[in-house]
Copies of this chain bind each other. A is one copy, B any other.
Amino acid sequence: MTNGMANATIRDVARAADVSVASVSRVLNGHDNVRPELRERVHAAATRLGYVPHAGARSLSLARSNAIGVVLPELHGEFFSELLRGMDREASARGLQLLLSNMHADPARGVEALRTMRGRVDGMVVMAPHIDPDQLFAHLPTGVPVVLVNCAPHHQPRPELRLDNIAGARAMVDHLVATGRRRILHLAGPVGNIDAEERMDGYRAGIAAAGLEPLIERGTFLEESGVSVAEKMAREGSDVDAVFAANDMMAIGVLMGLRRAGVAVPDRVAVAGFDDIPLARLISPTLTTLRIDIAELGERAIARLTDQIGGADDRSIELRAPTLIVRETTSPREDPEHRGTRGIYA
């Protein structure tokens, strides 16, 4: 039977070694006030019984679990995977385990996910770009340290990490304008998603500064949105000469849609994304985008959380600026005649 024999407890070990449970605990936790001979007996008994301490019981009496909760939106794609990788790196370096929870779209289930973490973790990292944190934290245990990552606006006095989406999007628009684009379409993310909204704000600011006209379509952050926008552009004979998508997956969709429609990138239309997922430099033409060091973001979240658990009281918001990565999809056009023109294509 796999689960035939229950595991030995510390009392079993104590009995087997003919000592008290206190001594067993002391030996196993490496306290030095134990006679060597007794220490020996305990170790022998423990290995003989195959004793493995019960982490749950341990954390109950210590009021410390050495685990931290990670609450993420729908686990999807490379962003999430990179973030988790960074967290894992930092956490395992500090001897912490990660308890994962998926915060679905439904706020009620989200609250439930956070509640079930109480008494199981020492703190939490919460990333919820699509849910109002005030609502989320209203019915939550107090006294659990939390670090927010890229959350919607709120009134929580909590430590927080954010992307500077506005500056990033602004930099991209500036780049497109500097390379001669004038009809710049923004393919935005879903309504209510904080990253989507901020990137759109940055786009608007850049467009206004250049004295251009804003052109905005809404997407879903998925590849398909990009494809359909490209198809629509081709169908309607649009005069757009650059598409700035709110994330890389949509930008890639745009690339595929344009290729299928026979529209030259970057000669006719420039394309840019956001995130710099690994894919961005592998497709062809390679994609201009904004790089976020996602794994490092994850590491930093864990680091700040452990500081907080350790008693620090730093509630500041840390803003991380993305870096503009220029690749082939926004190269200046070879044909100088295009510069500034508004050619119609089919």
Taken together as a complex, chains A and B put the C-alpha atoms of A157 and B1 apart, in Å, by: 10
A56 pairs with B65, CB closer than 8 A: yes
Quick one: which of B53, B88, B118, B282 contacts A118, CB cutoff 8 A? B53
A313 pairs with B119, CB closer than 8 A: no
Taken together as a complex, chains A and B put the C-alpha atoms of A56 and B66 apart, in Å, by: 12
Q: Using an 8 Å CB-CB cutoff, how does the interface string of A141-176 with B read, 1 for contact, 0 for none? A: 111111000000000011000000000000000000
Closest CB pairs A-B (n = 10): A54-B119, A81-B81, A56-B119, A52-B141, A98-B100, A55-B120, A55-B119, A52-B118, A3-B143, A75-B85
Q: How many copies make up the complex? A: 2
Residues of B within 8 A of A101 (CB): 92, 97-98
A139 at the interface (CB under 8 A from B): yes
B102 pairs with A6, CB closer than 8 A: no
The binding surface of chain A is classed by DSSP as: loop
Taken together as a complex, chains A and B put the C-alpha atoms of A321 and B82 apart, in Å, by: 28
Residues of B within 8 A of A279 (CB): 279, 282
A284 pairs with B282, CB closer than 8 A: no
A20 at the interface (CB under 8 A from B): no
Taken together as a complex, chains A and B put the C-alpha atoms of A85 and B116 apart, in Å, by: 20
A12 at the interface (CB under 8 A from B): no
Residues of B within 8 A of A100 (CB): 84, 88, 97-100
